[in-house]
A and B are shown apart, each in its own frame.
Chain A
Amino acid sequence: MTMSDYAPMFLAKLKALFVQRRDESAFDEEIDVHLEMLTEKYERQGLSAPEALRAARRQFGNTTLLKQRQRESRTTMFFADTWQDVRYGTRQLAKTPVFTIVCVLTLALGVGANTAVFSVMHAVLIKMLPVEDASHVFYLHTTGFPKNISQTGDPATSFSYPIYRSLRERSDLQEVLTFIPMSTSGKVAVRVGVAPEEATGDMVGGNYFRGLGVGTELGRGFTQKDEDDHAPVVVISESFWTTRFARSLDVLGKTLYIKSIPFSIVGVAAKRFEGTEGKLPVDFWIPLQSRPEFNAWGAPADEGIYLTEPRLWAMKLMVRTAPGVSREQAQAQAQAVFERAAYTGIAPKRAGDPTYQLSLREAKQFDSQDGTFARSLRILMTMVGLVLLIAMCNVVMLLMARNARRQREFSVRLALGAGRKEIARQLLAAGRTCRHARSL
């Protein structure tokens, strides 16, 4: 058979799997008609009816065998055999429930732990933010800050308003985006109707959604005017929209009270976008606000507002680099602007003070502050990997012990004519069934 004949052959067999029953009855009919015609032929030649029938049967051959052969060659016997093995394996496992349960649980534990840790690892170390062209978006980090300033307790990611403005106005970065948590926990009191609740919110620049390339499900994102006017408008997340507004289409224009101040809902952010805070999914975003009760991180206003107090470093920054500009080039440009802006409005840099270095960090789902979190995750992953290995060893030993006990049974089956291949295949099928039970 040439190569080109395998394709129609396989397709025919595959098709036959599904139309098997119909095919079989059609084939039975075909054989019956043939036999009838053959019988008639013999009757015409002068045989009596029973004789003719016998002669026809003799001439035709063994119909049962033929039907069986027909079935075998019509479908690939492989499927039927596999199914048989699976059933056999299931029966074997059902006969020894304790063994089965132990195996299934051991494997389930090992695999479950691995899956859980891997999903966390994926989210933290690998997954990028769901923004447009994430490879050009970076978190901005600094190695330090001048003396006498107050910041958020997160020294690497805190910047002052003058730095934000300077980077936006004087650098060649395509976009400089800011986002500020509403409180140290991220959560603030909000109210949709009458019932107060807590929600996670960020104050962001007017270019936040446009700069990240995050669209909206409904309504609009922010504009520069929203930022300049500190407009009382709010964009909510898709999940907040789902849980609090049941995805109602007339959510736009409704009022969300944040710290008792009314904000008008103007948009619903694109699905899957949950802000840039990493650990905490953000429920809503408002433009940068100037009211004292909306000071950055919910800080008391008596030490100054983040917008006007250059000694308060409280803004988190992200940048989008222009196309064709490398990360290093962008970093160097930003560094020059940063060095000047860092001392705007505060005591100038003194001789001997270190120069603080900016760095651009990839826009992963989680802003990697430093390697410790990642490192501990990797250790955890290794550990659960070992757990899985131990679990598998356990199961293997259990299976081996059991098969050793079944030596006698195997001898009998070999003696009865089972091929070694068949026995191995059946054992494999039993193992497979065990694994599938676990994954259920």
Chain B
Amino acid sequence: MATDKSEVLQGTLDLMILKTLQALGPLHGFGIARRIEQLSEDVLTLNEGTVYTSLLRLQQKSWIGSEWGVSDNNRRARFYSITKRGLKQLTVETENWERIAAVIGRVLALEATN
């Protein structure tokens, strides 16, 4: 089902957003979308709306906080920033990701040699 796919994507998106906020400090949703777009170099096509779903989820888990501020072009915008809990979670998730990536890498390498 379609939800299975998006589930994976959501998980990764959460991690990307956390990392972005950790690296760049407070950002609004538009900024986050731009940053991810920039980094993914058009490999990932992102429905920018899903960023907000992810942001809400992260906020409900208290991994990020938000407050209203003014954007560069003088618009009222909500700025998200990572919390202490979020930083802790980021470490955990990063390790997790690396472990999984390593495993997958090994599995794929195995196939190639056979």
Task: Contacts A1-B61, A8-B60, A9-B61 given; indicate if A33 touches B52 (C-beta within 8 A).
Answer: no
Q: From A8, A61, A73, give the contact of B48 (CB < 8 A).
A: A61
Q: Taking the complex as formed, is B75 at the interface, i.e. its CB lies under 8 A from any CB of chain A?
A: yes
Across the interface, do A36 and B53 meet the contact criterion of CB distance under 8 Å? no
Q: Taking the complex as formed, is A370 at the interface, i.e. its CB lies under 8 A from any CB of chain B?
A: no
Selecting from A23-31, A262-270, A282-290, A398-406, the interface stretch reads: A23-31
Q: Which residues of A contact B56 (CB under 8 A)?
A: 70, 73-74
Chain A interface residue count, Cβ-Cβ cutoff 8 angstroms: 27
Task: Contacts A60-B49, A62-B49 given; indicate if A30 touches B78 (C-beta within 8 A).
Answer: yes
Q: Which residues of A contact B84 (CB under 8 A)?
A: none
Task: Contacts A5-B61, A33-B30, A37-B30 given; indicate if A66 touches B52 (C-beta within 8 A).
Answer: yes
Q: Which residues of A contact B59 (CB under 8 A)?
A: 12
Q: What are 8 residue pairs bridging A and B, where the CB atoms are less than 8 Å apart in the complex?
A: A8-B60, A30-B78, A34-B33, A37-B73, A61-B48, A63-B49, A66-B49, A73-B57
Q: Which residues of B contact A29 (CB under 8 A)?
A: 76
Q: Which residues of B contact A61 (CB under 8 A)?
A: 47-50
Using a CB–CB cutoff of 8 Å, the interface residues on chain B facing chain A are: 28-30, 33, 47-50, 52-53, 56-57, 59-62, 71, 73, 75-78
Across the interface, do B62 and A8 meet the contact criterion of CB distance under 8 Å? yes
Closest to B45 in A: A59
Q: From A13, A31, A63, give the contact of B60 (CB < 8 A).
A: A13
Q: Bits for A256-279, please: 1 = Cβ < 8 Å to B, else 0.
A: 000000000000000000000000
Across the interface, do A60 and B47 meet the contact criterion of CB distance under 8 Å? yes
Task: Contacts A33-B77, A36-B75, A37-B75 given; indicate if A12 touches B60 (C-beta within 8 A).
Answer: yes
Closest to A27 in B: B52
Q: Taking the complex as formed, is A69 at the interface, i.e. its CB lies under 8 A from any CB of chain B?
A: yes
Q: Taking the complex as formed, is A427 at the interface, i.e. its CB lies under 8 A from any CB of chain B?
A: no
Q: Is the interface of A mostly helix, strand, loop or mixed?
A: helix
Closest 7 CB pairs of A and B: A61-B47, A61-B49, A8-B62, A12-B60, A66-B49, A37-B30, A60-B48
Q: Which residues of A contact B76 (CB under 8 A)?
A: 29, 33
Across the interface, do B48 and A30 meet the contact criterion of CB distance under 8 Å? no
Q: Taking the complex as formed, is A360 at the interface, i.e. its CB lies under 8 A from any CB of chain B?
A: no
Q: Taking the complex as formed, is A377 at the interface, i.e. its CB lies under 8 A from any CB of chain B?
A: no
Q: Which residues of B contact A13 (CB under 8 A)?
A: 60
Q: Taking the complex as formed, is A231 at the interface, i.e. its CB lies under 8 A from any CB of chain B?
A: no
Q: Which residues of A contact B33 (CB under 8 A)?
A: 34
Task: List 4 additional A-B contacts (Cβ < 8 Å) besides A12-B60, A61-B50, A74-B56.
Answer: A9-B60, A27-B52, A33-B75, A34-B29
Cα(A66)–Cα(B33), bound, Å: 16
Nearest CB in chain B: distance from A54 CB, A: 14
Closest to B50 in A: A61
Closest to B63 in A: A5
Closest to A37 in B: B30
Q: Which residues of B contact A8 (CB under 8 A)?
A: 60-62
Across the interface, do A59 and B75 meet the contact criterion of CB distance under 8 Å? no
Closest to A29 in B: B76
Q: Taking the complex as formed, is A38 at the interface, i.e. its CB lies under 8 A from any CB of chain B?
A: yes
Closest to B46 in A: A59
Cα(A60)–Cα(B59), bound, Å: 21
Cα(A31)–Cα(B59), bound, Å: 17
Cα(A26)–Cα(B49), bound, Å: 15
Cα(A70)–Cα(B56), bound, Å: 8
Cα(A200)–Cα(B73), bound, Å: 84
Q: Which residues of A contact B71 (CB under 8 A)?
A: 33, 37
Across the interface, do A34 and B48 meet the contact criterion of CB distance under 8 Å? yes
